[in-house]
Structure 1
C-alpha cells in the first residue's frame, strides 16, 4: 500500500458516534459518512438529527443513562457490527470556585463525561473485539492541564485519559486500539458560552476573555471541528493501525488554561 493510500479509511467501515448531531460529533459523523462509512449517531437532541446527512442512522439517547446507552447499541446493531466507536458525548459543566459548585452539577458532569464514556466502552468492547476495531474517546486539553474554576470538567477529562490508556492495555491483546483526542479551543457556540461564563466570573468583557484565551495558544487561533474529524479519520485509516493508548492533542498547542 502506498503511503498516500494509508491516510484514508477503507470504505464500508461501520461507525457509531455519540453526541453526533451537533458540533464536533456532527463533523466526525459527516466526515466518516463522506469517506464511505456506514454511520449511526446517538444524541440527546432529537431535533438536531434533521441536520445529519441522508443515510446516517439516529437514536435519541442520554449517554449518562446506561439503559439508554444499551438501547443505542441495540439499534446500532443494524449496521451489522462495529469497526469504530467515537465516544464523544460530554458537557461543559459549571464555571465556579470549588466551594461554590453545586454538588448536583458536579455529579452531572462526571455522570456524562466520565461515567458515560465507561458505559459506551462497556457496550462497545464485544463488537470491537470481534472486528479488531477502534475506540476513540473524546477528552480535552483540560485532560492534561489544570483549569481553574472548571474543576468538574477537568477532573472528568483527566479521567477519560486514564480510562483510555487503561483500556488500550486491556483490549490491545484482542486487536482493539483505544485512543483519546484532546481538542483545544474549538470554534463554535459551546466555547462562546464557556468564554462568556469565565468572563463573567472574572468581571471582564467577552472580547478581553477571548483575547486572553488565544494568548495562551502558541498558534494564537482556535481549531475547527473539522480538525478533530480529520484526526478521527486518520486513526481509523491504515496509517493509524499501530497508534493506541495515546492522548492526541489537536489544539494549536494550548500552553495553559
Structure 2
C-alpha cells in the first residue's frame, strides 16, 4: 500500500493513536502538531510539521510541502482540538470562547480547505473530522467546546456534499470519554466546578454510557482507518460515535 494520510495534532492522544493505526495499516504518515517536543518523539519514518492549525500561512505551506513531497493526499484527519474553559456561560471570557472555537472549528476548516483541491484533482479522498459526543448533546459548563464540536459536524456534512461529485468522502468521528491526559484535565476542572472529586466525576461519565466505561484512543484510531479505507467507500456524511453508547450526557453521581 502506498496511501498517504495527514493527521493534525498527530503527536499525542487521539491523533497519535490515529497515526499509529494508519502506520500499522501500511499508510505513509504525516503528522502536524504545535508541540515540537512531542513531534520529535514520533517515529522517525513519519513526516512531521510544526504547525499552528489556526495560522493559514503555516497550514498552506504544509499542504504545499505535502503536494511537493507526496504528489497528493488520500486521507486527511482533521483532528486538532482543545477542551476550552469549564464554566457557566456567564463566566466565560470572550477571548477564551474564541480561542476554543478557533482551534476546533477554524483548524478543521483550514485543513479541509487546503486538502480538498488535491482530492478533487485525484478524483478520490477521505476526510475524517474529529468531533465529540459533545457535538451530539449539550454539556453544562462546556459551551464553547460544544458549540465548536456541533459546528464541525455541519462543516463535515457540507464537505461530503462538495466532495461526493469528485469521488471524495467526509465523515465525523465523535469520541466519548477517552482515557488519557486531556480527559484528566477535563475531569479535574469539572470536579473543581462542581465541588466533587475527580473519581466521582469519572464514575459519572462512565455510568453515562451503556457499556459503563471510557474508551481508549486506539479505538478512535481503528475507526479512522476504516473510514479512510475502501471498505468504507460508500460511507460519507456520517457521524459515528465511538463512545460505548452515551445514554446520559450529563450523569449525576
TM-score range normalised by the length of the shorter chain: over 0.9
The match for 1:127 is: 118
Q: What is the SS of the residue equivalent to 1:85?
A: strand
Separation of aligned partners in 2, 1:253 and 1:214: 10
Q: What is the SS of the residue equivalent to 1:178?
A: strand
Structure 1 gap ranges (5+): 1-10
The match for 1:7 is: none
Post-superposition shift, 1:102?
1.1
Q: What is the SS of the residue equivalent to 1:16?
A: strand
Q: Encode CA deviations 1:93-146: one digit per residue, 9 max, x unaligned.
A: 000110000110100011110011111111011011123100001100000000
The match for 1:174 is: 166
The match for 2:102 is: 111
Task: Report whether the alignment pairs 1:91 with 2:82.
Answer: yes
Task: Report whether the alignment pairs 1:248 with 2:240.
Answer: yes
Separation of aligned partners in 2, 1:99 and 1:216: 26
Q: Is the 8 A contact 1:83 1:133 kept in 2?
A: yes
Q: What is the SS of the residue equivalent to 2:174?
A: strand
Equivalent of residue 160 in structure 1, options 141, 144, 152 = 152
TM-score by length of structure 1 reads: 0.94
Separation of aligned partners in 1, 2:121 and 2:30: 18
Which runs of structure 1 show a deviation greater than 6 angstroms over 4 or more consecutive aligned residues? none
The correspondence of residues 213-252 of structure 1 with structure 2, limited to 5 A, is 213-252=205-244
Q: What is the SS of the residue equivalent to 2:54?
A: coil
The match for 1:50 is: 40
Q: Is the 8 A contact 2:128 2:228 kept in 1?
A: no
Q: Encode CA deviations 1:40-65: one digit per residue, 9 max, x unaligned.
A: 11100110012312210011001011
Task: Report whether the alignment pairs 1:24 with 2:37.
Answer: no
Separation of aligned partners in 1, 2:241 and 2:41: 28
Q: What is the SS of the residue equivalent to 1:148?
A: coil
Post-superposition shift, 1:69?
1.0
Q: How many residue pairs are counted as aligned between the two chains?
A: 247
Q: Is the 8 A contact 1:110 1:156 kept in 2?
A: yes
Post-superposition shift, 1:32?
1.0
Separation of aligned partners in 2, 1:204 and 1:34: 40
The match for 1:81 is: 72
TM-score by length of structure 2 reads: 0.95
The match for 1:63 is: 53
Separation of aligned partners in 1, 2:89 and 2:114: 33
Separation of aligned partners in 2, 1:167 and 1:80: 22
